[in-house]
Amino acid sequence: MASAETKKKQACVIITIDGPAGAGKSTVAKELARKLGYTYLDTGAMYRALTLKALRQKVDLTDAQALVSLAKRTMIDIGADENKGLTVGL
């Protein structure tokens, strides 16, 4: 019988797709997630949300330490809306 930790690891499947900008990675990922019944996580939207927060708080975008600190204390809410699709909020 599998341990609870093994079952937890098995339940957490992550698929990543790498490639150049404009190659259709997001399109393929969304369709793959839909067909497999998985949740599509738009990491690009997460990066843009964090960038927006940094800009609003006037964090120096060249200061890696300040950006890491901001990211560590930021909660990004990801949801699904029937009309809007994926939603990302701070």
- φ, ψ of residue 79 to 5 degrees: the values are -145, 180
Q: What is the pLDDT of residue 43?
A: 83
pLDDT at 10: 57
Overall pTM > 0.85? no
Sorting pLDDT into bands at 50, 70 and 90, what band is 87?
confident
3-state secondary structure string across 24-67 = CHHHHHHHHHHHHCCCCCCHHHHHHHHHHHHHHCCCCCCCHHHH
Q: Tens digit of pLDDT for each residue in 56-73? A: 999 999 999 999 999 999
Average pLDDT of the segment spanning 41-54: 89
Give the C-alpha separation, 74 to 66, whole Å. Answer: 12
- Cβ–Cβ < 8 Å for 79, 73: no
Q: pLDDT band for position 16 (50/70/90)? A: confident
Residue with structure tokens 């949801």?
A: 79
CB 87, CB 80: distance < 8 Å: yes
**What whole-number distance in Å separates Cα of residue 45 and Cα of residue 23?**
17
Mean pLDDT, rounded, of the chain: 85
